[in-house]
Amino acid sequence: MIVIGADTHKRTHMLLGVDAGTGEVSQSKQINASDDGHRDAVRWARELDSERVWAIEDCRHVSRRLEQALLAAGERVVRVPPKMMGQTRRAERQSGKSDEIDALAVARAVVKDGVERFPSAYLDERAMEIRLLSDHRDQLVTERTRIQNRLRWHLLQLCPALEAQLPQAGLTRQAVQERIARRLRTFGDDTRARVAREQLSRVRALTHQINGLERELQRLVAAHRPALLAEQGCGALIAATLIGRTAGAERFPSDSHFARQAGAAPIPVSSGRVDRHRLHRGGDRQLNRALHMIAITKARIDPETRAYVERKRAEGKTRREALRCLKRHLARKIHRLLAMPAADPDPAQFNIAISGRCLT
């Protein structure tokens, strides 16, 4: 079998084949990041070996079209975390950096650890749409926060008494916005007040967009994975993170693989008579955050979960260690819910064209 490492870029991709048994390099090829280039890559790979697997660095923005084309052509594709590629490069005797060296590092990371250790790429277009909208909402929230902070500094100069009375996270409420707008109108053509009015207008516009995206995500998640919303502590935004960041639970052979991806699988750090585990700081931190939010919510309001945490505390674990145990159990349950057959898509909601479907 041959492992084909791919170093992906915006305009071109570098491909390099490595023998899965010996790690020896066979051939390399640079292709254009286009449909014609993807077809050339498939034809080239089929001439190398009848049994092959593609190893692609997990940077979805530049590798997505190549992944789609390969999967549509019936190829097997696995995703390699960027940090593993860096570890492989440091272990190589050859120094320096080039596209070919990077493609070799991706391939040898798979050869070293074994193909089965890596999550397979999987086409889940509805999950991708949910992730895009969720990421867009998060970016708008970040932008709104920056504008709110600048607005507060202007209000501190214009009317410090009003700024002191504003709640910490209350600038998104309509009543508070109206109050600020009325006060700013009293300053007439003052330059600072004019800038503050423009910032307030931008906060209002962003709030309207954010609320609209949240309602849309609620509809999409309810149509795609309604069982997630029924899980206590899992609202629409957390469910959207779980769906989007997982990118198809089918690509994980078991819940253990999913837990490792989510950073919820504990790492043993036993020594001598000390037998314990520590936090796994790897994996997808957004997935881990979503599991953590569900865990702390259930530990607060669910009697059975609270009893489980207390039982772990009685065993000598700290509260953080007990929550880590709970997150591992939640990873098993969430993986099962995500792997359930999805609801039938509504063409009006999900209408994404996949490029590269013509490959055979």
**89 and 169: one domain?**
no
pLDDT digits (tens, 9 = 90+) for 151-183: 999 999 999 998 898 888 778 888 999 999 999
| Cα gap 100→29, rounded to integer Å | 9
In a domain, 349, yes or no: no
**177 and 246: one domain?**
no
Task: Give the pLDDT confidence score for residue 343 in this predicted structure.
Answer: 58
| Cα gap 140→164, rounded to integer Å | 26
Task: Give the pLDDT confidence score for residue 320 in this predicted structure.
Answer: 87
DSSP string, 147-160: HHHHHHHHHHHH-H
In a domain, 107, yes or no: yes
pLDDT digits (tens, 9 = 90+) for 66-113: 888 898 888 988 888 776 665 555 555 566 678 888 888 888 888 887
Name the domain boundary from 72, 89, 117: 117
In a domain, 351, yes or no: no
In a domain, 352, yes or no: no
In a domain, 358, yes or no: no
Name the domain boundary from 117, 136, 171: 117
In a domain, 345, yes or no: no
| 3-class secondary structure, 6 | strand
How many structural domains is the chain composed of? Answer: 3
In a domain, 350, yes or no: no
Contact 98, 105 (CB under 8 A): no
Task: Give the pLDDT confidence score for residue 93 in this predicted structure.
Answer: 53
In a domain, 344, yes or no: no
**153 and 221: one domain?**
yes
Task: Give the pLDDT confidence score for residue 110 in this predicted structure.
Answer: 85
Task: Give the pLDDT confidence score for residue 353 in this predicted structure.
Answer: 32
| Cα gap 12→214, rounded to integer Å | 36
| Cα gap 65→74, rounded to integer Å | 14
> 346: pLDDT confidence band, cut at 50, 70 and 90?
very low
**199 and 140: one domain?**
yes
**185 and 103: one domain?**
no
Mean per-residue pLDDT, 5-9? 89
The closest of 260, 216, 239 to 338, measured between CA atoms, is 239
Pick 87 or 338 by higher pLDDT. 338
Give the domain range for residue 26: 2-117
**207 and 250: one domain?**
no
Q: What is the CA radius of gyration of the chain?
A: 25
To the question of pTM greater than 0.95 for the whole model, the response is no
Task: Give the pLDDT confidence score for residue 94 in this predicted structure.
Answer: 60
Residue 42: which CATH number?
3.30.420.10
**221 and 234: one domain?**
no
**108 and 11: one domain?**
yes
pLDDT digits (tens, 9 = 90+) for 194-210: 999 999 999 999 999 99
Contact 267, 278 (CB under 8 A): yes
Instruction: Please report which residue ranges of the chain form alpha helices under DSSP H.
Output: 35-48, 60-72, 82-91, 99-113, 125-158, 160-165, 174-185, 191-224, 226-230, 236-246, 255-261, 285-301, 303-314, 319-339
pLDDT digits (tens, 9 = 90+) for 273-290: 777 777 777 778 899 999
**7 and 78: one domain?**
yes
